[in-house]
Amino acid sequence: MEIVLYPHPVLRFKSRDVQVIDEDLRRVVGEMFQLMYAAKGVGLAANQVGIPLRFFIMNPSGDAAHPEQQQVLINPRVRKRSGAEIGEEGCLSLPGLHGDVVRDEKVTIEAFDLEGQEVRLELVDLPARIFQHEYDHLDGILFIDRIEEEDELEMVRDLRKFEDKFAEQQRAGEIPASVDIEKSLKSFASSGRLANFGLA
């Protein structure tokens, strides 16, 4: 398993609901936390590791030494939003890039945990921002879609470098053609489960 980088098609794929919470999912979640901490992140969505299903992990501390702050949110839904604040964001799928994004200051959300129990949380400030960033991922939205136009223009050169590298990897056969990736994603997502899915 590895974190996929922009502009991999899975990052623009609208993820499908998880249908089964099982040991496969729990194993993947454990591996995702290891990846997130190694990359010094505070959140990681399933599609960032090539899985087009609606779940993500987060830990506002970004520290494995604080497991009490870990959250696994499966099939999350936003029930209420309020306030607005601007803050700088980055993304593990766009390493090195940062930009200011306006987010809701407070969100009330519902989701399922790894035990299949429904949870309802009121998140504010950083946890609310992390949630919204990862929730966007599940809908194929990246933080660069929400930054000011002038900030986006400053990123054009860096984004092109990511795009050129991705194209080179496809030409070298290291990554399948985008049309084949999208076909595979649709097929896998329709099952809503991780069984028999080969993770790179």
Q: Which residues are catalytic?
A: 134
Distance CA 30, CA 197 (A): 16
Distance CA 132, CA 114 (A): 20
* Beta strands at 106-112 and 71-82: parallel, antiparallel or unpaired: antiparallel
> In whole angstroms, how far apart are CA 78 and each of 32, 108, 109, 135, 136?
23, 6, 4, 9, 11
Distance CA 15, CA 52 (A): 5
Distance CA 154, CA 151 (A): 5
Distance CA 8, CA 177 (A): 10
